[in-house]
């Protein structure tokens, strides 16, 4: 696909502020990393808004999924196809090229795999991925995934509520947050090499009550099968009311902690990627609107829903917090 220059398709003021941002980026490590998450993302969104259909194949497949037997979320939205879900990915340990992840991840060694659950708990444990699959009933949850970049998918995950795992390790009274860590393995991840500017490993975090919420899912598969490598095999998180970057892949460590943990994107660019990062159409990203999104496989854009459509279930968690603030 021939790349459209962003100057041709972006409104001038957006383009100019992006140039200014990029100049600033040369001065700050955080902004440099955003050449991956932000700069490229901004371009993707602009191209889409300009009608560039960079995923004609996916669109064709997913239109076929508008048939009666297709899986649907609770709002009636058809799930994206397995092909689309596993070949259009954000997985920066491999590459910043969404359509390049699947190929680079093809030989990723997702087994054997262990995950430790430790920190402020009475019963710290190390689980083998198979223990987790056996111990906790695997259920299907069809969730919308809304990326902070302005695109979304509908994904039939397979997994179990994180709450079940946390109850087993018994958080102590001092535990207030959960910190998640992805695999650090430069031998497997080309983008974790010595010159990488990202503060690997990828880390994320949730407040304990968010982690205990029934919607928060430890994911082991999708479409009833083990998780594809490109989607974070063998174990990832799905937190459907938050922007997709909170749903950390390839988890090796879960730690209960007293203080709000540092997370990768929040460390790199705190003014752009807040710790909470709940989907909120009224709160624009500093460089683009979050009012609408493009569902991969559809043309045009659709309105983004408050808390990604899970407002009824989760709004209580944030009673008294200013939803317009960048926490
Ligand atoms: N987890 C790790 N370890 N590395 C990543 O680069 N990307 C995040 C999130 N989890 C990411 C990650 C982002 S930005 C998004 S939108 C989702 O994964 C994408 O999940 P998907 O590729 O399964 O759609």
Mean pLDDT of 194-206: 96
Q: Is residue 82 pLDDT above 70, yes or no?
A: yes
pLDDT band of 60, cuts 50, 70, 90: very low
Domains belonging to the chain, first-starting first, are 4-10+38-318 (3.90.420.10)
248 touches ligand 1 (CB under 6 Å): yes
pLDDT of 20: 31
Give the residue whose CA is nearest to atom 13 of ligand 1.
245
Q: Is residue 38 pLDDT above 80, yes or no?
A: no
- Average pLDDT of the chain is 85
93 touches ligand 1 (CB under 6 Å): yes
Mean pLDDT of 245-256: 99
pLDDT of 67: 63
User: Cα(12) to centroid of ligand 1, in Å?
Assistant: 30
Mean pLDDT of 119-127: 98
Q: Which two tokens stand for residue 280?
A: 């909120």
Mean pLDDT of 264-287: 97
25: left (phi over 0), alpha (psi -120 to 50) or beta: alpha
Q: Is residue 128 pLDDT above 60, yes or no?
A: yes
pLDDT of 17: 35
Q: Is residue 211 pLDDT above 80, yes or no?
A: yes
Mean pLDDT of 293-316: 97
Q: Which two tokens stand for residue 327?
A: 């926490």
Those residues with Cβ within 8 angstroms of residue 52's Cβ, 6 or more apart along the chain or in another chain: 4, 9
Mean pLDDT of 54-62: 45
Q: What is the pTM of this model?
A: 0.85
User: Cα(117) to centroid of ligand 1, in Å?
Assistant: 21
pLDDT band of 326, cuts 50, 70, 90: confident
């Amino acid at each position: 696909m021939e790349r459209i220059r962003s100057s041709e398709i972006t409104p001038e003021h957006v383009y100019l502020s992006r140039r200014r941002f990029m100049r600033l980026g040369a001065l700050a490590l955080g902004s440099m990393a955003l050449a991956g998450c932000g700069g490229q993302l901004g371009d993707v969104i602009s191209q889409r808004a300009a009608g560039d259909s960079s995923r004609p194949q996916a669109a064709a497949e997913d239109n076929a999924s508008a048939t009666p037997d297709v899986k649907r979320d609770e709002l009636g939205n058809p799930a994206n196809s397995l092909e689309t879900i596993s070949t259009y990915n954000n997985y920066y340990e491999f590459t910043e090229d969404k359509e390049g992840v699947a190929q680079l991840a093809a030989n990723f060694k997702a087994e054997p795999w262990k995950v430790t659950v430790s920190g402020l708990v009475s019963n710290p444990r190390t689980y083998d991925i198979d223990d987790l699959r056996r111990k906790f009933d695997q259920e299907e949850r069809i969730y919308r995934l809304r990326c902070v970049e302005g695109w979304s998918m509908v994904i039939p995950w397979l997994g179990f509520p994180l709450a079940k795992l946390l109850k087993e390790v018994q958080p102590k009274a001092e535990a207030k947050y959960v910190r998640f860590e992805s695999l650090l393995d430069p031998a497997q991840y080309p983008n974790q090499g010595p010159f990488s500017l990202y503060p690997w490993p990828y880390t994320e975090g949730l407040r304990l009550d968010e982690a205990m919420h029934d919607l928060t899912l430890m994911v082991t598969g999708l479409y009833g099968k083990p998780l594809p490598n490109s989607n974070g095999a063998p174990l990832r998180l799905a937190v459907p009311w938050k922007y997709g970057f909170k749903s950390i892949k390839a988890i090796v460590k879960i730690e209960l902690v007293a203080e709000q943990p540092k997370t990768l994107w929040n460390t790199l660019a705190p003014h752009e990627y807040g710790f909470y990062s709940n989907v909120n159409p009224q709160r624009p990203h500093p460089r683009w609107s979050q009012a609408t999104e493009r569902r991969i496989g559809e043309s045009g854009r659709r309105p983004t829903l408050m808390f990604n459509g899970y407002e009824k279930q989760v709004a209580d968690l944030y009673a008294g917090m200013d939803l317009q603030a960048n926490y």
